[in-house]
Structure 1
């Protein structure tokens, strides 16, 4: 890691994210129904260094919402409150560049598991009819771990949207995230596979409802398309560092779960 290297993703990072979204090698299909698929990455080496938490990928063919609208839905924090039922709190902390910011997000977990939060660096890119939004966890000097939350880690999470027609698109969500705590990994991996199709459903529905909602809610404000509208204060990206999963302590929640760790049926 070179100090002169910026923490901000470069062109290569966007290209690599797109490549992963479109790759099929080393991906195992776990779900396929009505235009929606879910895969998990299966790496050839299962050695000591293989990641405990799956990388998961969800793909959906959308026939009735334009790519640009789905891109707006991903970005629009005000609208997210309308459709993201698990969200507790979400806000942008600071701007890092015209196409990157740092933000906070917390979400409800099913009882008795503790709720989770993340601080992430998010960046985005539009190239012709392709849209990418991606994030990873960072350490921010003013946003330490809070007591009532377990700080989760997004190793890499994001969306790739590509137009397939004026009113249709391919929508891909890719994520490798460690919820921390001490949840058995089979619980984490199972949950992500079960929840993913549900999330796709709600995002698709959100896309259909967005134009009508946006008409009534600051219709001309889209700071992600018009950086001049962005009122967030700037922050030097050098003040942030990448949040590694292993530097956060695990909070013991194991007593709260039924089932045995051995059931790594993934």
Structure 2
């Protein structure tokens, strides 16, 4: 049953971000820490979380950065396309996101229900995958499943913050072990640093790009069509096609670094 996250969901997410008991530190360098959840089953979809301290970036600025889909094209070089599909409430919507995987792995995409909550000087944005008949899986992408993904932005005074990112995603396709390792050791820390840099540059960019338009802060600015909650259902991984990519070796991967394919 699809439901819009409530206070209990946000509190649970915050607890997972801040409590490191049962988590294994996989990476701690250059101001970025990455943990993976300790689990008995090797088949379970693992949770990954990371944290970066963003000096000289107020929490509310980073919150804007993570909401602003127009600005995302500037800093998220892995993104192919993102857009908001429709709104559910003043602090929940349905959206689409697709991202590049290095060739010959197939690119992935999501349809997610996203909800956000300002809490004093802190902010949370969380999502999970849903099925929406108007946006079925596409032949040119592997439809991945976010079981739970989100951000916690904790203010450290008025001009600094800590950003937590927690994700539990089933990418579908039997990805080889080295891909998972590369994500935690290289891709994830790099992504966190990109968000930090994006936060530093955002105020100047926003001054030139519709500076008063922030529908995530001012709901009356939201002109998205309304989505009926009854039209959504939980996206279960076992309902999707499973692509076996486990035989792809690291040598066969083309090293597609930043920004080769831009927004379509």
The answer, yes or no, to whether TM exceeds 0.5 is yes
TM-score normalized with structure 1 length: 0.90
Greater relative contact order, per chain length (Cα 8 Å cut-off, separation 6+)? 2
Looking at structure 1, the residues matched to 177 and 242 of structure 2 have their Cα atoms a distance apart, in angstroms, of: 13
2:72 equivalent to 1:80: yes
TM-score, length of structure 2 as denominator length? 0.91
Matched with 2:109 is 117
The Cα RMSD (Å) is 1.5
Which one of the candidate residues 202, 205, 208 is aligned to 1:210? 202
Q: Map of 1:129-144 to 2, 5 A cutoff?
A: 129-144=121-136
Deviation at 1:99, TM superposition (A): 0.2
Contact 1:54 1:189 in 2 (8 A): no
Question: What is the CA distance between 1:31 and its match in structure 2?
Answer: 1.0
Q: Does 1:95 align with 2:95?
A: no
Q: Which of these residues, 35, 38, 45, is aligned with residue 39 of structure 1?
A: 35
The 2-side partners of 1:151 and 1:192 are apart by: 21
Quick one: distance in 2 between partners of 1:56 and 1:193? 11
- Distance change (3 Å), C-alpha of 1:147 and 1:188: same
Q: Which moved more, 1:33-42 or 1:70-79?
A: 33-42
* Paired position in structure 1 for 2:5: 9
Q: Given the alignment, which residue of 244, 247, 256 partners 1:252? A: 244
User: Cα offset for 1:243?
Assistant: 0.9
Q: How many residues align?
A: 251
Q: Which runs of 5+ in 1 are unaligned?
A: 260-266
Where in structure 2 are the equivalents of 1:55-70 lying within 5 Å? 55-70=47-62
Structure 2 alignment gaps of length 5 or more: 252-264
Residues 109-151 of structure 1 show CA distances to partners (whole Å, capped at 9, x for unaligned) of 1000011100000000001011000110000011111111000
